[in-house]
Amino acid sequence: MMVSSDGDVTVTNDGATILSMMDVEHQIAKLMVELSKSQDDEIGDGTTGVVVLAGALLEEAEQLLDKGIHPIRVADGYQCAAQVAIDRLDQIADSFPVDPKNPEPLIETAMTTLSSKIINRCHRQMAKIAVEAILSVADFDRKDVDFELIKVEGKVGGKMEDTQLVKGVIVDKDFSHPQMPKEVKDAKLAILTCPFEPPKPKTKHHLDVTSVEAYKKLQEYEKEKFDEMVQQVKDTGANLVICQWGFDDEANHLLLQRQLPAVRWVGGPEIELIAIATGGRIVPRFQELSAEKLGKAGIVRELTFGTTKDRMLVIEHCQNSRAVTIFIRGGNKMIIEEAKRSIHDALCVVRNLVRDHRIVYGGGASEIACSLAVSEAADKNPSIEQYAMRAFADALDDIPMALAENSGLHPIKTLAAVKSRQVKETNPRLGIDCLSKGTNDMKEQHVIETLLAKKQQIMLATQLVKMILKIDDIRTDEDKA
């Protein structure tokens, strides 16, 4: 639980979030925060693991320095060991084709990511939603996923099981007039970024109304202009207006009279997403509005929640079904924020599988396999770097040990047993049985991680530790004083 200086409370076990919210003073600790951030930006998952590994490598390096081994030799040894570990990961990696018709392997990988989160109560459902969202927007030819097309919305209230994937856009707005219809079928949307108001001179203007006639004339002119604007929209065949700006009550009343439902004050990013989803064009001036620029949607409906007056608009069955919204429900704001972070991690993992469909097995299995490979390589290395390579192998063991400890098992005993079985059976899929399912084979337990994330973890942690080892002096402004 993190409490900010202004009293905001965040409950999370996401490594990157915890580190980014901590008030860190120490210079090397700041580098650790940057490390988890770069893992989060690049991969989106494995932020805790990368910091644990870097911390273990630094701890091992300290002991080597105490023995009198030069930091450069330690750094070189770490580099050799990291290369051996990455080569070993390539050898033990499995691959499966990413097939939209068979999403089960993707769901299992997303479930592995979500199993350590607070929302693991319904992690199967969340994983399914994440996979469906990615498969809806993925570009399989380019092997890439545009996250701009996936919007994550949350609303307090309801159960987490009520979370759903909407093939369309959800906007946190309602129709501008309470008497407007709550549902528009076969909607043709005019998407406007110009305000519904009479034209004003661009210069500073000052208008004196000296008589009742002049006031009435001005009122008449305004009404005429509003009428003209509404007619322009109606002439194109539009039956729903999405406006970035507001309009006053007179325009609102006129829109109701002319049976033209409207939504006002829709934000910039949401306007863009609606335009992408419905295949419409954003229109900056009324004069440019035409039938070709209208967006099309099967249905636009208003959602209401419980006894509160909260309303949201759902735009579904769009022309371009590639824009989707994950709509999260939960008991309180903290749960929803944590669910958003967890869903982001799951989305990133599935995106990585679309990019590179090779996987390794989790539960510490890949770390143990790498540790054994590095130890073996260290024995064959004739130079002094072999000490650093053995230290690297010991540091890799810290992750399965932490897993065993967090699962309530005896860390050293469990690790020793699994390690000896991996050597005996030459089976790199054996890991820590955290959930006591009776088997250590992670393939049978469906504990899957992406190869991309594991490689990135080892490379980033090694690079950071090498950089720290090469620091021989620290100068601050206080020293000058």
Instruction: Kindly list the distances between the CA atom of residue 85 and the CA atoms of 35, 365, 368, in Å, as whole numbers in the listed order.
Output: 19, 13, 10
Helix (H, G, I), strand (E, B) or coil at 216: helix
- CA-based nearest residue to 275, from 354, 193, 204, 362: 193
Query: Among this protein's residues, is 48 annotated catalytic?
Result: yes
- The C-alpha atoms of residue 372 and residue 368 are separated, in whole angstroms, by 6
DSSP reduced 3-state for 263? strand
Partnered with residue 156 across adjacent β-strands are 330
Strand partners, 145: 138
CA 69 to chain centre: 42
From CA 282, how far away is CA 267, in angstroms rounded? 13
Q: Which of 14, 40, 45, 174 is catalytic?
A: 14
**Cα within 13 Å of Cα(50), Cβ side:** 33
Taking a C-beta distance cutoff of 8 angstroms, is the pair 107, 124 a contact?
A: yes
Query: Which residues are CB-contacts of 25 (< 8 A; sequence separation ≥ 6)?
Result: none
Token readout for 425 is 């059976």
| Active-site annotation holds for 14 | yes
C-alpha to C-alpha distances, 343 to 43, 46, 348, 447, 461, nearest whole angstrom: 14, 14, 9, 18, 25
Choose, from 76, 345, 398, 441, the residue flagged as catalytic: 345
- Tell me if 290 sits within 8 A of 298, measured CB to CB: no
Residue at 86: amino acid letter:
I
Active-site hit among 12, 40, 45, 48: 48
State the DSSP H helix or E strand holding residue 402, giving kind and residue range, or none if neither.
helix 398-406
Question: CA dist 259 to 181, 200, 227, 401, 410, Å?
Answer: 9, 27, 13, 67, 70
Distance from C-alpha of 120 to C-alpha of 469, rounded to nearest angstrom = 39
Beta-sheet pairing, 183-192 with 282-283: parallel
User: Contact, 82 vs 51, CB < 8 A?
Assistant: no
Point out the catalytic residue in the list 17, 47, 109, 112: 47
Does the active-site annotation cover 144?
A: no
User: Known catalytic residue: 40?
Assistant: no
Place of tokens 């050898």: 91
Question: In the 8-state DSSP scheme, what is residue 23?
Answer: -
Distance (Å, rounded) from C-alpha 388 to C-alpha 151? 46
> The tokens 């915890």 sit on which residue?
18
Q: Which residues are catalytic?
A: 14, 47-48, 345
